[in-house]
Amino acid sequence: MASAESGDVPTVKYFLIMVAISLSKGVPVDIDCGFGTPLFNAANNGKDKTLKILLDCQADPNVIVNNGSCSPLMSALDCCSLKCMKLLIKASTGADVNVKGTIIAPLVFSTLQGGYTNFIKILLETGAIPNIPDDVSLLFLEFCYSSDYFTNKLRLL
């Protein structure tokens, strides 16, 4: 996991090659040792190359970690990594842009962070639903209206 977190691509490749037999026998690449999965940690640190390798090994982009507080997509948003966010969404199984099961929806989070308009635009283009509340009943549109950036955000809709 430290390799995924640090972005040490050659080491991650080496480890993935060495465990190819284990992976082919069903050992999951999504093992969580208490600090999130390797995919979560790569996204959390903006390590897009490492993230791509893990996704190629069928890592689950929709895994929820930290007792329901976060997902790899939310981690990519938190560290402002547009590359990681795009990779997670375009993965074969594709990250859920509405991320049910986490504390806050990606659209609401992006709005609360001061208007990540590039992130909001991609989330909306890939199917994020702005008028459905997240798990704590927060609505994206409510934050658009209460935010200084609301005119830019509403134009995206």
Question: What are the DSSP calls for 10-27, one per residue?
Answer: HHHHHHHHHTHHHHHTT-
Contacts of 108 (CB under 8 A, 6+ apart): 134, 138, 139, 140, 143
Lookup: tokens for 8: 């040490």
Same fold for the pair 1-96 and 102-157: yes
Per-residue pLDDT of the chain (157 residues; tens, 9 = 90+): 566 667 778 887 787 777 666 767 777 788 887 788 889 989 999 989 889 988 988 889 988 887 667 889 988 988 889 999 999 999 888 888 887 767 777 877 777 776 677 888 898 899 988 887 766 676 776 666 665 555 555 565 5
Interatomic CA distance for residues 65 and 136, integer angstroms: 17
| Helix/strand/coil for 70 | strand
Q: Give me the residue spans of the domains in the chain.
A: 1-96, 102-157
Pick the CATH number of 102-157 from 1.25.40, 2.30.30, 3.30.420, 3.90.1310: 1.25.40
Domain 1-96 has CATH 1.10.10.10: no
| Helix/strand/coil for 74 | helix
Q: Quick one: which of 136, 88, 94 has its CA closest to 112?
A: 136
